[in-house]
Amino acid sequence: MWSVPESTTPRTDWPESSPPPWPAGVRATLWWHRSTAAARALGPDGATVPLTLAMMVDYLDSPVGPYREILASPVLRAPGRRIGVLPRMAVPFIAVDSEPSVHGGRVHWSLPKVTAEFDGDVHGDFEASSEAWRVTTSTRPRGPRLPVAGALGFAQPGDHGLVTASARLRGHFRYARVAVSAEGPTLGDWLTPGTHHGIVITDGRMTTGPAQLR
């Protein structure tokens, strides 16, 4: 499975999860910045958009219960015949504090989920960490609360093609400034430290659909 060292595990015996769709209530912070040379070197193959997108998510409810998550896409896959009309994430780093969610990510969507510890509030000061890596965010929302409706798609390299899926969201958001620090075998090279543009999802309902092979 395509991943960076921070999202690699030898373990395979995860508690089973139900198949998608996965509906969930969410709160989240998302941020983005121009991709570094290290991010571009990570791939994936094919045309890409040099933008790194990352997020901290608090799932208030889901088919596997409440859990928290960090994920990052070093670049975005460029729109095209196989990708669709919008860019999609390609996620080599994703961690959660739910073992059934690890199973769901790896089995249902080819997402290389591993377990991690989380502390704090995704809309304020927050930390995700393991023995090998650590990411902290300090988020300061600004401006009005506005409605949002849309989807985030991802396309993961698979053994027989691209594994694609979309998460559809409806809720509210605010603009935010997000101060980030990251350390680990690779994270410090492509998840750029500093203060970045971002948004907070103040409240939302999100449904992640089944994967398709392209």
Give 100's DSSP letter: H
Helix (H) or strand (E) holding 118: strand 117-120
44 domain-assigned: yes
Closest by CA position to 150, among listed 73, 205, 213: 205
Residue 203 falls within a domain, yes or no? yes
Rounded Cα distance, 204 and 24, in Å: 8
pLDDT of residue 160: 85
Instruction: Give domain status of residue 35, yes or no.
Output: yes
Q: What is the mean pLDDT of residues 18-24?
A: 99
Residue 13 lies in a domain: no
Q: Which two tokens stand for residue 108?
A: 């249902």
Decide if 4 is inside a domain.
no
Dihedral, 5, 164, 196, 26 alpha carbons, nearest 10: -100
59 has pLDDT over 90: yes
Alpha-carbon distance of 193 to 187, in angstroms, equals 10
In a domain, 14, yes or no: no
Neighbours of 195 (CB within 10 A): 13
Backbone angles phi, psi at 79, to 5 degrees: -55, 150
Work out how many domains the chain is built from and give that number: 1
Report the C-alpha gap between 132 and 160 in whole angstroms: 31
Amino acid, res. 36: T
Question: DSSP letter string over 33-55?
Answer: EEPPHHHHHH--SS-EE-EEEEE
> In which band, very low, low, confident or very high, does the pLDDT at 43 lie, cut at 50, 70 and 90?
confident
Q: Is residue 122 part of a domain?
A: yes
pLDDT (tens digit per residue) in 125-137: 999 999 999 999 9
SS3 content of the chain, % helix, strand, coil (to 5): 10, 55, 35
Average pLDDT, the chain: 98
CB within 8 A of 43, min separation 6: which ones? Answer: 2, 74, 75, 90, 157
Range of the domain at 97: 21-213
CATH number, domain with residue 97: 2.40.400.10
Largest CA distance in the chain: 45
pLDDT for the residue numbered 71 = 99
Q: What is the pTM of this model?
A: 0.97
